[in-house]
Structure 1
Amino acid sequence: MSTSVPNRLYAAITGIGGYIPENTRSNLDLEKICDTSDEWIVKRTGIKERRILEEELATSDMAVRAIEDLATKYNKNIHDIDALLVATSTPDMPMPATANIIADKLGIDNVWAFDMNAACSGFLYALDLGASLIETRRYKNVLVVGADNISTYVDIHDRSTNILFGDGAGVVWLEPSMEGGIMDAYLRSNGSGRSFLNIEGGGSLYPLDAADAIADKRYLKQDGKTVFKHAVQSMSDACFQVLNRNGLTIEDVDWLVPHQANQRIIDAVGRALDIPEGRALSNIEYLGNTIAATIPLCIWQNLKQIKTGDLVMLTAFGAGFSWGASLFKWMI
C-alpha cells in the first residue's frame, strides 16, 4: 500500500528528542500526602510515578534539553532552524513567548519563534501548523516542541489531579520531503468545555493576587468523569475522520500514539477504533500526563518499535475542549 501522493511536498519528521526531569513523585509519595493508595491510582490511571521539574527551572529549560538531545542524536545544526513553534500551557512567563526564551538559550537570534496553547492537544495543533509552513515552501527547518511544567499548577493535596500530571518536553524536526511525511490532520475545539478542565487564575479574567490565591484559582481543576467521556468520543471520532477521508482503515495503521492522559482513556480509544492489540503505544506508567509533551515523548521512548515507512496515527484531547488526530508516514 502506497500512502504518498506523487508530486506532493510533505513535511517529514527527520529528528526527535526528549527530556524528562530526574526527580520522581511516586504513588507511595502521594500516599503520605493525601487519602490515596498505589493500588487505587494504578487501577484508575495506570500511572506509578511521574517526573517533577526542579523548582529553579522552567518549561524553557526542559525544551532546550530536548532540542539538544535531538541535535546530538541526529547531527542537526540548530542554526539551520528557521521556525520554532512551542506548544505549552505553562510558559515561563506571560511575555515574552517561551519560544523566544528557548531561542535565546540556544543562541539562535534569527528565527520565527512563538508559543501556542491548545492544552493537551497543543502538540497536534503545532505539528499541523509546522507542516503547513513546510508545505508553503517558505520554511525548510521547522522545530515543533511540546513542553509543560504542569506540576507547578497542581495542588499536591488534590488527589483528582496530583495522581495524573508530570513534567517533560518532546520535540520533532520537520523538513521538506517528496517521499512522504505528514499526510493529514483533523483538529477541532469547543470552548463550552472550559469549565470542566481549566486553570482559572493568572489571566486577564482572574489576575493572580492574594484573594485569588486563597480561592485556589491558580491550580488545575478538572471534572474527571466529563473529561473521560468527551475524550474517548472525540479522539476516536477524529481518528475515523482522518482515516475515512484518506481511504484507509485502522488495519492500515501500524501505530496509534494517543495522548497519555489516563491508561483507561488510552484503552477505551483503542477499543473504539478496534486497533489490533499491541499497536497502541503508551508510556504513561512512569511519566503520567505531561500535557503537550505526551505524544512526542511517547514516540521518543518507543523509537525501537517504529520502522521507516510505518504509518503512524496521533490523537489527543485537552482543555477547551480541544481535540484532533494526525496521520503521517515515519521517514527516519
Structure 2
Amino acid sequence: MTIQSKARITAIGSYVPDQILSNADLEKMVDTTDEWIIQRTGMRERRIAGPEQFVSDLSIKAVEALIHDYKAAVDDVDLILVATSTADYGFPSVASRVQKHFGIPSCGAMDLGAACAGFTYGLHMANGLISSGLHKKVLVIGGETLSKITDYTDRSSCILFGDGASAMLVEYDVSNPSFITSDIGTAGEGGQHLYRAGLSASMDGVALNNNGFLVQNGREVYKWAVRSVPAGVERLLHQAKMGIDELNWFVPHSANLRMIESISDRLQLPMEQTLTSVEYCGNTSAASIPLALQNGLREGKLKQGDKVILYGFGGGLTYAGLLIQWGAPDLI
C-alpha cells in the first residue's frame, strides 16, 4: 500500500548481550556439529542474555546506544512501540518499562505481538501514526530473549535462536520521508507451524506442546517463507514502479542464512546486496532486521538515501515488508 508518508527514520541503536553461545558450545549440549549447523543455517554464534537480563534491559541498552551514536533526544518521544515475543511480564508492557527508565513524559507505550515480523509492523505503524498527524516522534524497538523460551534438549531448534535488541527513532518530516510503500498480510492457517502455547492447549483442533518453549515446524515455515517473501518483494517493487536493479539493499528477517539464500536466488538478487545478522547473532526474531541494518552501518555499506527493502516474516504466520529510503545520517 502506498500513502504520502510524512515520517523519516532518524536514528538507530542496538545492543546484544556479552555471553556468546558458539557452535562448539552446542556440540557439548546436543548431538550436533559446527559443520552441520553452518551447512544448514549459516550460524556460528548467538548472544545469550544473563539469568537476570530481560527484554526491557536489552531495549534500554539499545536506546542508550541510539542516544550516544546520534546525539539524539528521547524526552520528546510521544509513543513507544516494542515488538517482542518474550516480554518480561504478561503486563506491564516492555514499552512502559522503557518509558519509566528514561522518564519520558506524555508518552504512550505498548508492545506489539507479530513475532519475527514485529519490527517491520512497528515501523509501519509509526509511519501511519506520524503521517496521519496523531504523533510526531515514535520510538520503535525490536527486542527478544529467545534463549529463555528455547528447549536446549531439542537439537533441531536450540541451534537457531539468540537474544538482542535494536531501537529506531521515527520523526515527522514532510520534506524527506523514509517510507515509500508497504506490503503486509497473514496466513493464519499456518499458525500451528510456529508457536509458543499460552492459555489455550489447542489450535484449530490440534493439541499444542504446552511446555513453555517455542515450537517450530522448520520445514513448513521454510516452504512458506521462500514462496511468500519473493512474491511480497515483487509487490513492493511493482507498487513503487521500481526494478530490482534500483534497489540498494535487501534486509529480510534473519531466520536462517540458507533460507535467505533461497529467497534471494528466487529474486535474482545477489547475496552481496543482502544485509543479515544471522551469522553471529542467530535468529533474534523481532530484533534481527534492525541488527542487520546496524551491521550494514558499521561496515560502511548502508548509506543515507539508499533504497532498502525490509521484510519481516514469522509466527502467525504473518509478514510485513517495507520499501524505504534510509533516512538516518551515516555513522562517523
Common topology (TM > 0.5): yes
Report the alpha carbon displacement of residue 133 of structure 1 after superposing the two structures with TM.
Answer: 1.0
Deviations 1:170-211 (A, max 9, x none): 1110012222311111111122111111111xx32259xxxx
Match of 1:68 in 2: 64
One-letter amino acid of the structure 1 residue matched with residue 52 of structure 2: E
After TM superposition, the structure 1 = structure 2 runs for residues 286-325 of structure 1, keeping only pairs within 5 Å, are: 286-303=280-297, 304-325=300-321
CA distance in 1, matches of 2:283, 2:250: 17
2:224 — aligned with what?
230
| Contact 2:5/2:127 (8 A) holds in 1 | no
What secondary structure is seen at the aligned counterpart in 2 of 1:16? Answer: strand
Q: Is the 8 A contact 1:234 1:324 kept in 2?
A: no
Mapping for residues 171-320 of structure 1, pairs under 5 Å: 171-177=167-173, 178-200=175-197, 203-206=198-201, 217-303=211-297, 304-320=300-316
Cα offset for 1:277?
4.2
Say which SS state the counterpart of residue 41 (structure 1) adopts.
Answer: helix
Contact 2:256 2:278 in 1 (8 A): yes
Q: Distance in 2 between matches of 1:9 and 1:144?
A: 17
Give me the whole-angstrom Cα distance separating, in 1, the residues matched to 2:5 and 2:103. Answer: 30
Q: Do the aligned partners of 1:151 and 1:165 also contact (CA within 8 Å) in 2?
A: yes
Q: Deviations over 1:251-277 (max 9, x none)?
A: 111000010000011101111111134
> What is the DSSP-based 3-state SS (H/G/I as helix, E as strand, rest coil) of the residue aligned with 2:273?
coil
Among candidates 96, 110, 122, match of residue 118 of structure 2? 122
Q: Distance in 2 between matches of 1:9 and 1:226?
A: 36
Cα deviation per residue 1:202-251 (whole Å; 9 max; x = unaligned)?
Answer: x32259xxxx9xx6520111111111110111111111111111111111
Q: What is the alpha-carbon distance in structure 2 between the residues aligned to residue 244 and residue 217 of structure 1?
A: 44
Equivalent residue for 2:85, pick from 77, 84, 89:
89
Segments of 4+ moved more than 2 angstroms: none
The separation in 1 between residues aligned to 2:45 and 2:69, in whole angstroms, is 27
3-state SS of paired residue (1:79):
coil
Cα pair 1:85 1:144 within 8 Å, conserved: yes
SS in structure 2 of the partner of residue 103 of structure 1: helix
3-state SS in 2 of match to 1:302: helix
Does the CA contact (< 8 Å) of 1:196 and 1:223 recur in 2?
yes
Question: Quick one: distance in 1 between partners of 2:271 and 2:73?
Answer: 39
The amino acid across from 2:75 in the alignment is: H
The CA deviation at 1:166 is 0.1
Indicate the residue corresponding to 1:41 in structure 2.
37
3-state secondary structure, aligned to 1:80: coil
- Corresponding residue of 1:168: 164
Q: Structure 1 residues 85, 311: closer, same or farther in 2, change over 3 A?
A: same
After TM superposition, the score normalised by the length of structure 1 is: 0.93
Residue of structure 2 in register with 1:79 after alignment: 75
CA distance in 2, matches of 1:40, 1:110: 51
**Alignment pair present for 1:29 and 2:2:** no
User: Secondary structure of the residue that 2:75 maps to in structure 1?
Assistant: helix
- Of the three residues 9, 15, 24, the one matched with 1:13 is 9
Identity of aligned residues (%): 38
Between the two proteins, the alignment pairs up a number of residues equal to 320
CA contact (8 A) 1:82 1:111 kept: yes
Task: Tell me the alpha carbon deviations over residues 76-104 of structure 1, each in whole angstroms, 9 at most, x when there is no partner.
Answer: 12211111000000111111111111111
Deviation at 1:54, TM superposition (A): 0.4
- Inter-partner Cα distance in structure 2 for 1:83 and 1:216: 34
Structure 2: 5+ residue runs without aligned partners? Answer: none
TM-score calculated relative to the size of structure 2: 0.93
CA contact (8 A) 1:260 1:294 kept: yes
SS at structure 1 position matched to 2:104: coil
